[in-house]
Structure 1
Amino acid sequence: MLLKNAPSLAALTIALLTLAGCQTSVKTRPTSELPPGVQGVWQSNGYGYVLEATKEYPRLFHYTSEFCIEDEETAAVLSHYLTPDNLAYDSEGRAIYFSPTLEDYKIEMNVIPKLPQTCGLQLSSDPVAVFESFASYMTAHYAFFDLYGVDWENTVSEARSNISMQMTDTELFGVLSDMIRPLKDGHLELSAEIKGKETRFEPGQGSVGNAIDRIASRQGKDKQDLNNQMLMQYWMTGIRKTILGGKGKMTANKMIQYGLVSDDIGYIAIAVEGGYAGKGEGFEDDDLAVLQDTLDNAIALFNNESAKSVIVDLSINFGGYDFISREIAERFAVKPSLAYTKYAADSNQKTPYPISITPHAGERYTGPVTLVTSNVTVSAGEMLTMALRTQPNVTHVGEATRGAHSDVLEKLLPNGWRLELSNEVYHDHKGNFWEGQGIPPHVPLQIFNPDNPFEGHVNAIKSIIERLNDEGYDNSPSAPLKNGAP
C-alpha cells in the first residue's frame, strides 16, 4: 500500500482483531485514463519507485541500485492516486508530484529516458536473491539505524554467511527477522506465507505486545488468541459496558465509540484512523464522509449536554490515514496551528514539509480536552496526538505513545514476501523528534498494567473522570491525577 501511516486498514471486527495485510480494492487504471503529462518513465526522489506509463497499463517497480522488482498491487494503488486533483507538474514537464487522496504532501517523480536496465528482468526467487533484495531495500530506504544503534553493514555481512541455496523458507525468514530484531520500530515488519500460513515478524511491538508474549509463554497459550481476548475486553467490556455503561454509541464500522461518562463529561474512543466506510482501500472519501457524520453527532451531544470536558481516548489506536487524524483534531481546535513536519530521509530533498490544522467550521468542541495515550497509540494515532497537543485546551494524559511515525513504505521481495519499513522523519510543532521514544504526556498516568495489560485501562479512565468531577476541577497539565499518577 502506498503512503500508509499504519498497519494496513483491513476491516476491524467487533473484537478489534489485529489489522491485517494490505487489501487492494482498486484495479489498475489504463494508461489512457491517466492525466495528460503522466505518460513516460519516472523515478521517485526517495521511496524507491520507478513508474513506466508507456504501454496499455502503467507498471510500478521497486528500485535500488542492485534490484528492480515489479509490483502489480502497488501499481494499482498508484494509478488510483494519479488524478488531476492529486498531481502537480513542474514548468518544463521534467517532474510530476503526486499525493494520496486528501493529503498535501507530495512525492517527486523525475522523468528518465527509459527503464533502468534491471527493471523487467526475470528475477530469481531463491534464498540468496531474497536475502540480497531485503538487505538492499533496508540499506537504501531505512531511516533509523543510528537511532537504534545498529551497524547495518556489519549486520548484512554477518547474516550473509548464514544464507544458502538449500535453506528452507522457515530458516530464511528466521535470518531476516534476526537482522531487524534490534530495530524496535513499530513500522518495521516482515510478512510471508510459509507452508500455507501467514507469518509476520514485528520487532517493535511495544510493551503491551511484549507482556502478551510473556503471558502466552508462561501459560502455554496462543499469542494471537490472547491479543484478541485483550482487544475484546478493552473495546467491548472495558469501554462499551463499563466506561460508557452500555449507553454509548458505537459507530464508523465499530471503530469509534462515544457518549457521556457522567452528567457533563464527554468521552470518545478512537481505535483507528480509517476504514470507517468498510469498503477497503481506495474509498478514502467515503471514510471521511462517515467520520464527519460521526463527529457531527458526537460533538453535538457534547455541546448540547454542556459538557465541561471531553476525554479523547486513544489508549489503543492502530493508526491509519494522517488526513483522518487532522480532521479529528480540527473538531477540538481553538486556533490554527502547525501540527507537524515531515520529509523523506532517503531523498535528496530533506527540507521539512509543514502540515497544519485549522479549526473546523462546523460542529466543534472548544472546551477542555483530556487526551489519553499509551504505548499502543501508534502511527496516525500519534499524528492525532501531535495535532491535538498544539491546542491550549488539550491536556495529554497517560503513557508515551509508541514512537512509530513514518508512513509505512512497503517493498515486495522476489518470492512474494513483503517488507514494511520507515523512511520518513517527523517532528512535532516545536521541532521535537519523538521517533523510537514516543510522545511523552503532560501528565504521566499508567494506562495498562505492565505485567498484565488486561488490567489498568478502566481504572485509569475512572481516575481521570474523578479528577474532572472534582469541585473546582483543573484541566491544566500541572493538575494532579488521583489513583497512581506519578
Structure 2
Amino acid sequence: MRTGSSPTRAFTAVIALALASGAALGASPAEAAQQPDLNGVWRMDGYGTVLSFQQGTLDEYQTTGVSCLKGESAQRSGPTTFETRGGQTVFRVRPGTTHDHAALHIDGSVGDRGLRRIAALPDACRHTADSGPVATFDTFWQTFEENYPFFAAKHIDWHAVRDEYRPKVHPGMDDDQLFAIFRDMVAPLYDGHVVVSDGGHRFFGQGRPGTVVPGPGLDTQIKAYVQRRDLGTGRTLQEYASGRISYADLPGGQGYLRISAFSGLAGPGATYAADRAELDKALDGIFTSRRTAHLRGLILDLRINGGGSDDLGLRVAERLTDRPYFAYAKRVRNDPADPSRHTTPQPVYVRPSPTPRYTGPVAVLTGGSTFSAGETFTQALMDRPGPTVRVGQPTQGLFSDALERTLPNGWTFSLPNEEFLTRAGKTFDGKGIPPQYGEPVFTQEEFDKQRDSAFDRAVALMNT
C-alpha cells in the first residue's frame, strides 16, 4: 500500500486495515437504510487478515495457521469511512452483492479488498500469544509461507529454509541471535519490500544487487547533478511539492519533469489527502494551457523515485492522455496452501483529467533506484495512447503494497503479497521493467566524464 510518507515506502510502509459500518450520527433514515450492516467479523480475501467491527470501532487481527495477533484499530469518521489516529489512513466500505460480502478501499491504494463474513474470531485470537523465540520464529516463517508469491520465481525452497533455521531457535537465545536468523532467512530474496525491524537499532532491508536505495541524500545529489550538467546556466528547476517534483523548460519546445516520490509531497507525515492536493497544485502549475499547447516533447525522470501512493501516480498519468486506457491489473495471493491461487485480477484504468493535458511524445527515464509506486506509474504509461519510450536501466522490481506484520515479541516486518499484471498477464517483479533504450544511469564513470547518457538519448529521441 503506497500511502506512507517516507522517501522509500519499500522500507517504511505501514499497513492498517479498517472497515466502516452502521448508521452515522446525524444520518437521515434513508441514508441509514442504505448503509450495510457489517457489525461482526469478516475475513479479507488474501492479506492474512480478520476484521472485527463493533460499536464504531474496527479492530484488525493478523492471522496465520499458527498465530493471531491484534493489529491496528480505527474509529468511524463518517457513514462509511473509518480513520486511524490523526487521519493518517482513511478506509471506505463498499457493500457487496449479498449480506455476507463487502469490499474495502484504502485511500491512496488502487483496487478494493474483498471481505467475507465469518461466524467468529479464530480461536487463536482469543488467547494471549506466546512471545518466546520459537513462537516468534513460527509466526515469521508461516506468514511468508502463506502470503509471499515469489518463492518459485526466485528459486527459494522456503521449507528447506525452515528445516535449516528452526533447529537453531531455542527459548534461551538472545535477540541478536534471533534477529540474525531472520535476516539470513530472507536475505536471499533480495526484495526491497521485505523488511525486519525491532523498532530500535536492529533493522534489515535491501534492494536488488547492483542497485541503490533512493533516499534524501541521493536525491539531493542527483538533483544538483541534473541542474548543473543537463540544464546548465540560465535554466533552473522550478520545485513543487516539498521539492519532490521539479520542472524546467528545455530548448526546442521540450520539457523536463522530475518526480522523486509519490509520498511526502505536502511534507513529512502528510496524509494522502494533503499529498493529493499538493500534487494537483503542482500539476496545475506545470501543465498549463499555454505550455501544453506548445510542448513538443516531455522527458519524465523517475530514475530516483522512492515510491509512495499508486493512486498519485495514476493522477499524473491522467495529465498525459486524452482518452481512457488500461494501466494494469492487480491481484493478491489468496490461498495459504497454494501460492499459485490468487484473487480475480482487478483492472485499473487511466482516465483523462478534465484539466489541461499533454498528449505528445514522452520519454520515461528509469533505473534501479526507481522503486515501488515509481514502477507502477511506469507500468501505467506502457499502454499510453501517445508516443512513449523508456530509456535507462530496469526499475527495481517492487510493485506490491508492503504487507506490514507484527511478531509476538513486538518486532515488525513486511513482505509483498500482490502482483501487478500487464494486459497479457505478465509481471515485472524481481527483474523490474526494462527500458526500450538501454543507457547507463548515474554510474561513477558517468559522473567522472560529466555525462548523462540517458538524458541525452531522451533529448535525441524527442527531436526525431
Question: Shorter-chain-normalised TM-score: which range?
Answer: 0.7 to 0.9
Match of 2:326 among 303, 323, 338: 338
Alpha carbons 1:330, 1:360 under 8 Å: kept: yes
**Residue in 1 that maps onto 2:182:** 176
Residue 238 (str. 1) matches residue 225 (str. 2): yes
- 1:291 corresponds in structure 2 to 279
Q: Mapping of 1:86-101 within 5 angstroms?
A: 86-101=92-107
Aligned CA distance change for structure 1 residues 465 and 132 (closer, same or farther; 3 Å): closer
Q: Is the 8 A contact 1:276 1:291 kept in 2?
A: yes
Q: Matches of residues 441-452 of structure 1 in structure 2 within 5 Å?
A: 441-449=435-443
Q: Given the two structures, how large is their TM-score scaled by the length of structure 1?
A: 0.81
Map 1:411-426 → 2, pairs under 5 A? 411-426=405-420
Q: d(CA) in 1 for partners of 2:405 and 2:116?
A: 20
Aligned residues: 441
Give the unaligned 5+ runs of structure 1.
211-223, 475-486
Report the Cα distance in structure 1 between the residues aligned to 2:461 and 2:150, rounded to whole angstroms.
40
**Alignment partners' CA distance in 2, 1:230 and 1:417:** 29
Deviation of 1:28 after TM superposition, in Å, equals 11
- Residue 36 (structure 1) shift: 4.6
Secondary structure (helix, strand or coil) at the match of 2:320 reads: coil
Instruction: Report the CA distance shift for 1:455/1:432 in structure 2 as closer, same or farther (over 3 A).
Output: farther
Residue 203 of structure 1 deviates from its aligned partner by 4.1
User: Is 2:377 aligned against 1:389?
Assistant: no
Which stretch shows the higher mean deviation, 112-121 or 454-463?
A: 454-463
Counterpart check, 1:260 vs 2:260: no
Choose which of 347, 350, 356 in structure 1 pairs with 2:349. 356
Assess if the C-alpha contact under 8 Å between 1:367 and 1:393 holds in 2.
yes
Asked if 2 retains the 8 angstrom alpha-carbon contact of 1:206 and 1:402, the reply is: no
Q: Tell me the TM-score normalized by structure 2.
A: 0.85
Q: 1:173 to 1:33 in 2, by over 3 A?
A: farther
- The alignment partner of 2:198 has SS state of strand
Q: Which residue of 2 aligns with 1:482?
A: none
- Whether the aligned pair in 2 keeps the contact of 1:344 and 1:350 (CA below 8 Å) is yes
Aligned-partner residue type, residue 327 of structure 2:
A
Deviates more, 1:35-44 or 1:298-307: 298-307
Q: Deviations over 1:426-459 (max 9, x none)?
A: 212343321111111111111131x679668962
Contact (CA 8 Å) 2:261, 2:305: kept in 1 or not? yes
Q: 1:135 to 1:302 in 2, by over 3 A?
A: farther
Would you say 1:280 and 2:276 are equivalent positions?
A: no
Q: Aligned-pair distance for 1:308?
A: 1.9
Deviations 1:297-320 (A, max 9, x none): 112287268232111000011111
CA contact (8 A) 1:398 1:445 kept: yes
RMSD over aligned CA atoms reads: 3.4
- Tell me the residue number matched to 1:439: 433
Kept after mapping to 2: 8 A contact 1:190/1:201: yes
Q: Is the 8 A contact 1:180 1:203 kept in 2?
A: no
Aligned with 1:110 (options 112, 116, 130): 116
Identity %: 28
1:86 counterpart SS class: strand
Q: Which residue of 1 aligns with 2:83?
A: 80
**Greater displacement, 245-254 / 320-329:** 245-254
SS at match of 1:467: helix
Change beyond 3 A, Cα 1:61–1:180: same
Amino acid at match of 1:157: D
Matches within 5 A, 1:28-427: 36-55=36-55, 57-72=57-72, 79-80=82-83, 86-101=92-107, 105-193=111-199, 196-197=200-201, 199-209=202-212, 229-235=217-223, 237-245=224-232, 247-262=236-251, 264-278=253-267, 280=269, 283-300=271-288, 303=291, 306-347=294-335, 350-391=343-384, 392-427=386-421
**Cα distance change on mapping 1:176 and 1:461 into 2, 3 Å:** same
Q: Which moved more, 1:343-352 or 1:289-298?
A: 343-352
1:5 maps to: 2
